[in-house]
Structure 1
Amino acid sequence: MVEREISLKKEIWEWTKAILIAVVLAFFLRSYVFATSIVEGTSMDPTLHNGERVIFNKAVYLLDEPERGDIVIIQHPNKNYVKRIIGLPNETVEFKDHQLYIDGQPVNEPYISPEQRQETEDFGPKKVPADQYFVVGDNRDISKDSRNGLGDINEDDIIGRSEFIIFPFDQISFTR
């Protein structure tokens, strides 16, 4: 009987340790590595749609710099935004005749359709300050972004890179 009680106590202790380790690990991952965000609005159509939930990588920019084409989560005082980086620090961004130019060179943007490209109005040239990024939505016609309200984005305001769509379940896919 005593042996059985000791065995039961050991088993309960092992389960308690396992649950505590899982909770601590989940808290660590959620706080420092991965988190979720909900896409609000249609500014990232057709890449991301209103109501989709994405997992974003919070740790990636601790070891690396944001790159052109990354879909990022931007922390803003009133809400978070999901946008695509197109201009890097110290580059000159310009939209002319529905074409993106970086430092005077045309840039291919395979993530937007020809129809969306035709909706892109002329802008710039605009030099991106050091330690800041120029972001736009893929749905250029309606996006609030660096051209019209968000301005250039400080590197510290970029809280992660979108990696996966996880909801709705029939849309599960990579966002990169």
Structure 2
Amino acid sequence: MDEDKKKKAKKEAMEWIKSIVFAIVVAILIKTFIFNTTYVLGSSMYPTLQERDRLFTNKITMYFSKPDRGDIVVLKAPDNPDKDYIKRVVGIEGDIIEIKNGSVYLNEQLLEEKYIGEGAYTHTYDKSYWEVPEGYVFVLGDNREEGASKDSRSFGCIPVDTIKGKADFRYFPFNDRFGKLK
């Protein structure tokens, strides 16, 4: 009888180990292919995002569609392979972006940007005109103060395949900013 208890305990332990391993594999697959979490550091997306916001980043949409204007995306930093940036897509392939007198123009039309601070002035650096090539997007941080955001004004248009996912939901902090991103 004692031998039966040992076999039963061993069998139960193996079932637990299998269940735990299965759960870990599923979690890794979800994190790798479906969604990830993003922790916001810095103020480059202020006022939309603030330091220490936590977001869900949807990866699966990137397998089926390209990013669209207005999407908030997480991308591999073009100037530092160990970092990711979070920015807003302002221009997609075929678009012409021009920054004049602190305002952004998309295809010769003033871009209405309700997500930036009132009276924000978009600074330029070496360039003020970009044509977005096929397979690329133009991204900007929502914080347009001089030097507040490393974005396409500094490193140019970015390849779509460097985008890791679309950030579309803030899950922390649990206050009036909790929920779907606009």
Could you tell me the TM-score, scaled by structure 1's length? 0.84
Alpha-carbon distance in 2 for matches of 1:10, 1:169: 43
In the TM superposition, 1:15-30 aligns within 5 A as: 15-30=16-31
Identical counterparts, % of pairs: 38
Q: 2:168 pairs with 157, 163, 168, which one?
A: 163
Structure 1 stretch displaced more, 105-114 or 66-75: 105-114
Per the TM alignment, residue 48 of structure 1 is displaced from its structure 2 partner at its CA by: 0.5
In the TM superposition, 1:1-176 aligns within 5 A as: 1=1, 3-76=4-77, 77-78=79-80, 79-116=83-120, 119-121=121-123, 124-141=128-145, 142-147=148-153, 149-170=154-175, 171-176=177-182
For 2:110, the aligned partner's letter is P
SS at match of 2:155: coil
Alpha-carbon distance in 2 for matches of 1:125, 1:114: 23
Per the TM alignment, residue 143 of structure 1 is displaced from its structure 2 partner at its CA by: 2.1
- Equivalent residues of 2:41, 2:52 under 8 A apart: yes
Per the TM alignment, residue 44 of structure 1 is displaced from its structure 2 partner at its CA by: 0.5
For 1:72, the aligned partner's letter is V
Ranges in structure 2 where 5+ consecutive residues have no aligned partner: none
Per the TM alignment, residue 10 of structure 1 is displaced from its structure 2 partner at its CA by: 3.7
Per the TM alignment, residue 89 of structure 1 is displaced from its structure 2 partner at its CA by: 0.8
Per the TM alignment, residue 99 of structure 1 is displaced from its structure 2 partner at its CA by: 4.0
For 1:43, the aligned partner's letter is S
- Equivalent residues of 2:69, 2:92 under 8 A apart: yes
Per the TM alignment, residue 155 of structure 1 is displaced from its structure 2 partner at its CA by: 1.0
Structure 1 stretch displaced more, 91-100 or 68-77: 91-100
- Equivalent residues of 2:117, 2:143 under 8 A apart: no
Alpha-carbon distance in 1 for matches of 2:160, 2:52: 26
SS at match of 1:25: helix
SS at match of 1:114: coil
Equivalenced residues, count: 173
Structure 1 stretch displaced more, 59-68 or 98-107: 98-107
Alpha-carbon distance in 2 for matches of 1:43, 1:107: 19
